[in-house]
């Protein structure tokens, strides 16, 4: 494989020296970009876009043509695993993802299909290979999956949910049933991420989008413990380099002490977590990523730059100029002005350079 021209993202995740703060954005290939909308229209629908190797590669690269980003992230969806398990994923306009089948009984769990992801999800691996080739070593490529708990909520509810009625009913009435589903999903996620790494992903992130909906003890039992199992089963060296792992639990900043023992190299933060306190909490044992409120990008250029400066000052309040990756606290929204995303990216590089040089 071609050597990396810019590896500051990987170096920061491993708490190695960097020249400035690396930055990328969750959902950086998305509906805020007019070129993405055009490519999606060409594909016909979202799933067709994910499954078309050339177009998935194209939308992955689009934000890198606009912005000085330090990483690319595979264009796909967190619900590819449940879809491959035979649940029939589809998208309704304005309503988000839905499944034709739900998983609520022991029989439902037993009937879930799962085979080698390099076969059942070959379109994802084809996209990874194509993107790595097209990047030409420009920046690293991030692979990803949803966490077992997050995937389970969609499978049990049949789509998105705010109350998680059926998921939490299973959790509190039939916890052994939920554990059986989560066990199956943890194996699938491990195999899926390892397939992405073999195909060329140079770092991976586990999106625990709904971990923050759990109570304190339940988070550890039904989400974190399964993410730990996944991390333990991942390929950690590939192509002669360490493959960093990022855990991101939205709404999970209060569980940083528990996450420290997950085995992950980095922990993602949403915008509700104080970054300087988080750095004090982890004591250099892991890197941190985040945590700008995505809505900040609705603000004026001056407001965006001020927010970035404050975030970086918090990130480096301990005087250690690595172990931090700038990002939003969740995915960029479709209503953001593309120019404002560029202001965010450039401000991270500019202000981190100032901070680093001031302390030389």
Write the DSSP assignment of 119-179 as a string of letters. HHTHHHHHHHHHHHHHHTTSS-EEEEEE-HHHHHHHHHHTB--SS-HHHHHHHHH-HHHHH
CA distance 133 to 331: 26
CA distance 321 to 287: 11
CA distance 356 to 228: 34
Dihedral (Cα; 236, 240, 241, 243), 10-degree rounding: -30
Q: Is 31 annotated as a binding residue?
A: yes
Neighbour tally for 162: CB within 10 Å: 7
Asked if residue 89 lies in contact with residue 82, where contact means CB atoms within 8 angstroms, the answer is yes
Q: Is 324 annotated as a binding residue?
A: no
Neighbour tally for 314: CB within 10 Å: 17
Q: Is 77 annotated as a binding residue?
A: yes
Asked if residue 81 lies in contact with residue 103, where contact means CB atoms within 8 angstroms, the answer is no
Neighbour tally for 61: CB within 10 Å: 17
Dihedral (Cα; 181, 183, 184, 188), 10-degree rounding: 130
Q: Is 179 annotated as a binding residue?
A: no
As annotated, the active-site residues are 27, 31, 40, 77, 154
Q: Is 30 annotated as a binding residue?
A: yes
Q: Is 29 annotated as a binding residue?
A: yes
Two structure tokens written together for 136 = 């030409």
CA distance 162 to 52: 31
The sign of the torsion formed by the CA atoms of 185, 117, 332, 157 equals: negative
Q: Is 70 annotated as a binding residue?
A: no
Q: Is 96 annotated as a binding residue?
A: no
Two structure tokens written together for 110 = 């037993």
Tell the residue number behind the tokens 């390892």, with chain if given. 194
| Residues forming beta bridges with residue 326, ordered by sequence position | 23
Asked if residue 290 lies in contact with residue 269, where contact means CB atoms within 8 angstroms, the answer is yes
Binding-site sequence positions for substrate: 27-31, 77, 154, 209, 330
Binding-site sequence positions: 27-31, 77, 154, 209, 330
């Amino acid at each position: 494989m071609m050597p990396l021209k810019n590896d500051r993202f990987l170096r920061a995740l491993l708490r190695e020296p960097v020249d400035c703060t690396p930055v990328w954005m969750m959902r950086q290939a998305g509906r805020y970009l007019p070129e993405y909308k055009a490519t999606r229209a060409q594909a016909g629908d979202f799933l067709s876009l994910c499954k078309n190797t050339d177009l998935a590669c194209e939308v992955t690269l689009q934000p890198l043509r606009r912005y000085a980003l330090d990483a690319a992230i595979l264009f796909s969806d967190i619900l590819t695993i449940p879809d491959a398990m035979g649940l029939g994923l589809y998208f309704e306009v304005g309503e988000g993802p839905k499944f034709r089948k739900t998983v609520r009984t022991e029989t439902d769990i037993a009937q879930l299909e799962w085979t080698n992801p390099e076969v059942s999800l070959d379109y994802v691996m084809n996209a990874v290979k194509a993107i790595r080739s097209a990047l030409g070593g420009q920046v690293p490529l991030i692979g990803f999956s949803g966490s077992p708990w997050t995937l389970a909520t969609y499978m049990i509810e049949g789509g998105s949910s705010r109350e998680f009625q059926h998921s939490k009913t299973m959790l509190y009435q039939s916890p052994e049933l939920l554990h059986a589903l989560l066990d199956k999903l943890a194996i699938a996620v491990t195999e899926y991420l390892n397939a992405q790494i073999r195909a060329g992903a140079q770092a991976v992130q586990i999106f625990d989008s709904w971990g923050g909906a759990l109570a304190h003890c339940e988070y550890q039992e039904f989400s974190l413990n399964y993410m730990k199992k996944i991390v333990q089963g991942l390929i950690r060296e590939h192509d002669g380099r360490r493959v960093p792992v990022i855990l991101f639990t939205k709404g999970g900043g209060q569980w940083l002490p528990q996450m420290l023992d997950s085995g992950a190299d980095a922990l993602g933060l949403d915008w509700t977590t104080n970054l300087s306190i988080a750095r004090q909490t982890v004591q250099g044992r892991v890197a941190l990523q985040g945590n700008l409120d995505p809505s900040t990008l609705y603000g004026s250029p001056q407001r965006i730059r001020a927010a970035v400066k404050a975030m970086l000052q918090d990130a480096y309040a301990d005087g250690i100029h690595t172990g931090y990756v700038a990002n939003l606290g969740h995915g960029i929204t479709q209503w953001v002005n593309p120019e404002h995303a560029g202001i965010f990216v450039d401000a991270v590089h500019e202000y981190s350079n100032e901070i680093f040089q001031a302390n030389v």
